[in-house]
Amino acid sequence: MGTNEYDFQVLKLTDDFYNAYTRAQYREILEKNDRPYNCIIFEVSNDYFVCVPYRTEIKHQYAYHFRRTTRSIQHKSGLDYTKMVIVKNTIYLGCVQAVIDNDEYIETVSNIHRIKDEAFDFLEKYIKHVKGESLLHHSEYRRRYQYSPLKYFHSELGI
């Protein structure tokens, strides 16, 4: 990945990631029948990568919901910000572009600015809340972050 602010890749997290972050200990990290999710990956200034999973069903507002894809007609598919993970070690990132539906890839690319802005805003609000810089109301924090795996990545985020 380059340093252009809108560079991204669609990858899977590796077995090394899932071995380090086992389901038994890290319950909020998505894993589907021992099969990793496809994720959109953004690099954050050579410090870490933000990985947002593609999901078939998302029933909350903290996501980018596909609107014009084949799968979105029958499902509420999209990119789920509540299940983002933070990766510092590149061994956790697959090296082969993940295969996703072409129409979802096209919609991702055409909305990449919005997706990145929303994902980073979601992450920034979490960091500021945890640091005590900008506290969310208790119920709002629970709605957004109760099932988020971000709590496992404080050291990577410097909090």
Number of Cβ atoms within 10 Å of the Cβ of 98: 18
- Report residue 147 as tokens: 């099932």
pLDDT of residue 31: 80
143 is a domain residue = yes
Residues 6+ apart with CB under 8 A from 94: 11, 12, 13, 14
Q: CATH code at 107?
A: 3.10.129
pLDDT of residue 21: 94
Q: Pick the closest to residue 85 from 159, 13, 23, 136 (CA basis).
A: 13
Per the listing, tokens 């252009």 go with: 4
2 is a domain residue = no
Domain hosting 31: range is 9-157
pLDDT of residue 143: 96
pLDDT averaged per 10 residues in sequence order, the chain, 159 residues? 61 92 92 77 90 95 94 92 96 89 94 97 98 96 97 96
Per the listing, tokens 């055409």 go with: 110
